[in-house]
């Protein structure tokens, strides 16, 4: 659960904007990575507009707890493949209310309502704390080193493309690929912390459509993760994706006779966004209990 909550600050941090006129195929092919980013930033409202965003607040519902997968068939010596017995879980995801507040430089506060209790995560840009009553843990706990690493790599308010050079990021065009039947530029971003991710930009609207997420470890193996942006709506001149879907991909294994069943997408539905809200500095300090 904690890892899923931390991922929210990464995927919600990508805010996208107004559509632009489509280019011809030849024009698309001739654009450089820098030109693609320039058009993306312009489509999202412009560089100066993003520099003026000092804080942002999100509220909505986080999908959690569903399981639409069938059980995997497991080989048994001398018998046909059978399915492992599992404890039944609801087929549809449970939607948990959340509020996330972000403030420059790189501060995040996340509250989640779970089973009548409020879970909390706070990151002040250097240190992090968590409160997890759903695990019967009633003390404020510091982030682990791994959790601090994930938090430090979270998206800025304006995402990784705005002012990318000032952030120490190098960008290159990795090709043109289809994303849900639409041409997209695939950009490779090499961050100054050594992390490398890919972002897909729609070749007609110049909006982000997909990003490569942090790998999810399942059954002792790291699975690739893709995050999709859907249902854009205007907020104070900016266009925000109000539906975010995370897909954990199965690993290819040609040697195995058992095909891995994909996990169902995890959905985040945004209900309200406030740009430049007045946030008390105490929100991002160590919580007191």
**Which pLDDT tens digit goes with each residue over 62-116?**
987 555 444 444 444 454 444 444 444 455 668 899 999 999 989 999 999 988 8
Identify whether 75 is part of a domain.
no
Q: Quick one: pLDDT at residue 240?
A: 82
Q: How far apart are CA 57 and CA 111, in angstroms?
A: 12
CB atoms within 10 A of CB 87: 5
Identify whether 38 is part of a domain.
yes
What's the gap between Cα 163 and its chain centre?
A: 20
Identify whether 289 is part of a domain.
no
**pLDDT tens for residues 155-179?**
788 889 999 999 999 999 999 999 9
CATH code of the domain containing 254: 2.50.20.10
Residue 232 near residue 207 (C-beta atoms within 8 A): yes
Q: Quick one: pLDDT at residue 209?
A: 94
What does residue 102 show for φ and ψ, rounded to 5 degrees?
A: -125, 140
Identify whether 14 is part of a domain.
yes
Identify whether 85 is part of a domain.
no
pLDDT reading at 275 higher than 80: yes
**pLDDT tens for residues 217-241?**
888 888 999 999 988 888 998 878 8
Per-chain mean pLDDT for the chain:
81
- The pTM for the full model equals 0.77
Following DSSP, what letter does each residue of 38-59 receive, concatenated? HHHHHHTT-HHHHHT--EEEEE
Crossing angle (nearest 10°) for helices 2-11 and 145-152 = 20
| Number of folded domains that form the chain | 1
Higher pLDDT, 262 or 79: 262
Q: Quick one: pLDDT at residue 286?
A: 93
For residues 33, 39, 43, 49, the Cα torsion angle rounded to the nearest 10 degrees is 90
Q: Quick one: pLDDT at residue 66?
A: 52
* Residue 257 DSSP label: S
> Containing domain of residue 63, as a range?
2-68+91-284
Give the residue from 51, 39, 42, 16 showing the smallest Cα distance to 238: 16
Q: What percent of the chain has pLDDT over 70?
A: 77
Upstream peptide bond of 269 is cis (omega within 30 degrees of 0): no
∠ CA(108), CA(49), CA(100), 5° rounding? 20
Q: How confident is the model at residue 260 (pLDDT cuts 50, 70, 90)?
A: low
Identify whether 179 is part of a domain.
yes
* Residue 283 DSSP label: G
Q: Quick one: pLDDT at residue 265?
A: 87
Higher pLDDT, 19 or 143: 143
Place of tokens 């654009």: 31
CB within 8 Å of 213: residues ≥ 6 apart: 7, 10, 11, 225, 226, 227, 246
Identify whether 82 is part of a domain.
no
Identify whether 86 is part of a domain.
no
């Amino acid at each position: 659960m904690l890892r899923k909550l931390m991922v929210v600050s990464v995927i919600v941090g990508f805010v996208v904007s107004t559509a632009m006129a489509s280019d011809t195929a030849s024009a698309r092919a001739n654009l450089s990575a820098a030109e693609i980013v320039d058009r993306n930033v312009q489509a999202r409202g412009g560089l100066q507009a993003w520099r003026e965003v000092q804080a942002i607040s999100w509220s909505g519902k986080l999908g959690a707890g569903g399981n639409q997968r069938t059980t995997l068939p497991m080989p048994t010596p001398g018998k046909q493949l059978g399915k492992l017995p599992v404890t039944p879980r609801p087929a549809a995801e449970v939607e948990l209310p959340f509020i996330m507040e972000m403030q420059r430089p790189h501060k995040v506060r996340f509250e989640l309502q779970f089973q009548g209790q409020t879970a909390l995560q706070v990151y002040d840009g250097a240190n992090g704390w968590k409160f997890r009553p759903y695990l019967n843990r009633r003390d404020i706990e510091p982030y682990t080193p791994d959790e601090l690493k994930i938090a430090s790599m979270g998206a800025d308010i304006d995402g990784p493309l705005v002012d990318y050079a000032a952030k120490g990021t190098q960008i290159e065009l990795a090709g043109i690929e289809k994303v849900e039947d639409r041409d997209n530029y695939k950009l490779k971003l090499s961050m100054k912390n050594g992390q490398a991710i890919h972002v897909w930009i729609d070749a007609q609207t110049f909006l982000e459509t997909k990003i490569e997420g942090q790998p999810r470890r399942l059954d002792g193996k790291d699975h690739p993760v893709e995050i999709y942006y859907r249902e854009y709506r205007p907020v104070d001149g900016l266009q925000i994706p109000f539906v975010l879907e995370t897909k954990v991909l199965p690993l290819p294994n040609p040697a195995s006779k058992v095909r891995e069943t994909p996990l169902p997408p995890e959905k985040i539905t945004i209900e309200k966004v406030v740009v430049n809200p007045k946030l008390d500095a105490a929100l991002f300090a160590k919580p007191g209990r």
